[in-house]
Amino acid sequence: MKVGVAGTFNVLHRGHRTLLNRAFELGDWVVVGITSDSFPSKKQFHAPLERRTEALRDYLSSTDKKWEIEVLQDGMGSAAYDRELNMLVVSQGTVQNAERINDIRISKGLKPLVIEEIKHVLGEDCATITSTRVLEEEIDEDGRLLRPLRVNVGSDNPVKVEAVRKVMGEIYRKVEIQAVRVKTTVGEQPWGEKILQGARERARSAIGKADYGAGIEAGILEMDDGLYGIQFCAIIDKEGTVTSGQSSGFRYPPEVEEKIRAGVAVSKAFNDLYDMEDIGHHEGAIGFLTKGMLNRQQLSEQAVQAAMVPRMRPDIYFEV
């Protein structure tokens, strides 16, 4: 089967290689279109055609299947009239151009091409790998960050900020953490689904120009045997994708539950009953209840870890 694939190939990065590899998986004859130096494009940092073609040819030479390179002067190329062509492999977001090619083929009495869309390949920061990012030395050709990951935390609570710092530091080589004071619509003591809503609001409000915005919200979850304390974390990236996770939950003592149901805040309930002040900024209720075995920061870390699970395996969660 003859398959077509095309691109600028400004820098031959992992996203391009994934696109090309898929074309070779589907066909035994692949035509690779590469945009000319005069091709109308909004992309910047164009490498000369000769250099781009050389890198492309070096990569294609590693396959034992038939291939050829076609220089494109427009968005159609030979795909609009090649009777032997069966399929186009396109990157996410470029299906519209492939459909225009099919419209032209149909108008010429040719069979429309099968269109195979490949999702964006993500870098270490779960943002799309692009030639521009590589040329700006933000990432390398495989998507690894060449600078620290920037994370804004939607809180100035030192327990939450440190939890994010610790977890991110275990996942990434270098991180920069910034605390950002934000407001939410869920109040100081959210219940049920409002907890996750608050975490997401914090993340969205905090991200700014960072790679990630992180929001952690603690609240009350009602179960059939009583009220539980739990934390949710939400992580948003600059492409708008949100991932979420939660900590382990623990049941509040009956006396505390009674006060909570009467409208008393958790921190005040513990302070009134057990003479504990400002539990939210220190070991927390869980530290008191477990005699130090667990503390509030560890619960926050659990929530951050859970929210980061999809980002540690983007190939499973986002690229399939």
pLDDT in tens, the chain (320 residues): 999 999 999 999 999 999 999 999 999 999 999 999 887 666 655 789 999 999 999 999 999 999 999 999 988 999 999 999 999 999 998 999 999 999 999 999 999 999 999 999 999 999 999 999 999 999 999 999 999 999 999 999 999 999 999 999 999 999 999 999 999 999 989 999 999 999 999 999 999 999 999 999 999 999 999 999 999 999 999 999 999 999 999 999 999 999 999 999 998 999 889 877 666 556 788 999 999 999 999 999 999 999 999 999 998 998 76
Mapped onto helix, strand or coil, the DSSP state of residue 285 is: helix
Task: Kindly give, in sequence order, each residue whose CB lies less than 8 Å from that of residue 18, ignoring residues fewer than 6 positions away.
Answer: 118, 121
Element (H, E) at 134: helix 131-135
> What backbone phi and psi angles, to 5 degrees, belong to 314?
-65, -25
Among residues 44, 42, 38, the alpha carbon closest in space to that of 10 is found at 44
Intervals of CATH 3.90.950.10 along the chain = 149-317
How far, in Å, CA of 126 to CA of 136, rounded?
Answer: 17
* CATH class for the domain made up of 2-135: alpha beta
Q: What pLDDT does residue 39 have?
A: 79
When computed from its CA atoms, the radius of gyration of the chain, rounded to whole angstroms, is: 26
Rounded-to-integer distance, Cα 8 and Cα 16, Å: 10
> Residues 98, 118: contact at Cβ < 8 Å?
no
pTM of this structure:
0.88
* pLDDT score for 125: 95
Q: What is the pLDDT of residue 280?
A: 52
Kindly report the CA angle at 239 between 234 and 241, in degrees rounded to 5?
35
Place of tokens 């409208």: 263
Cα separation, 164 vs 236, in Å, equals: 13
Fold adopted by 149-317: Maf protein (3.90.950)
Exposed/middle/buried for residue 224 (C-beta within 10 Å: 0-12, 13-18, 19+): exposed
What local confidence, expressed as pLDDT, does residue 277 receive? 67
66-72 and 226-237: which strand pairing? Answer: unpaired
Residues 116, 125, 214: CA angle, nearest 5 degrees: 120
Cβ-defined contacts of 21-26 (< 8 Å, 24+): 22/89, 22/116, 22/118, 23/89, 24/63, 24/65, 24/67, 26/1, 26/87, 26/89, 26/116
What residues does CATH 3.40.50.620 cover in the chain?
Answer: 2-135
